[in-house]
Amino acid sequence: MTVAAYTLAVVLNLFCLFLGYRFLFQPGPAATGYGVPADPGGDSGAYLTIKGVRDGTFGVVGLALLAFAGARPEAWFMLCVALVPLGDTLIVLRHGGTKAVAFGIHFATAVVVLISAGLLFAV
C-alpha cells in the first residue's frame, strides 16, 4: 500500500504542475478543458494566469511535503486540496459548463485526491 500511496500522490502533484504549465502557456485550450472557455487575450487573461500559478504551486508544495515531511503531512494537504476540485465542480456548473465535465473531471478529481489522502493516512 505504501508504494500505491506515494505513487498516487506523486502523480497527482505532477498533474497539478502540468495543469499550471498548461494554464500559463496554453491558456485558451486549458480553459476549454476546464469546462468554462475563456479568451486569454480578453478580460480573462489574468484569471487564467492565476489558475496556472495556483495549480503549479499546489504541485510544488505537495511534492515538497512528500519529500521533506512525509506521508501524514501530505495526507492532510491532499485532504485540504480536495476542496479545490469540489469548488471547480460548482464553478463549472454555475458558469454554463456541462455536467459531464463538472462531475467527470472535477468531482472525479476530488474523489481521487481524497482516496490519495486516505492511502497516505494509512501508511
Can you give the pTM of this predicted structure?
0.93
Q: What is the pLDDT of residue 103?
A: 98
Q: What is the pLDDT of residue 42?
A: 87
Q: Which three cell numbers stand for residue 89?
A: 465542480
Q: Which three cell numbers stand for residue 115?
A: 482516496
- Nearest-angstrom CA–CA distance, 32 and 38: 7
Closest CA to 19 of 70, 84, 64: 84
Question: pLDDT tens per residue, the chain (123 residues)?
Answer: 899 999 999 999 999 999 999 999 999 999 999 999 998 888 899 999 999 999 999 999 999 999 999 999 999 999 999 999 999 999 999 999 999 999 999 999 999 999 999 999 999
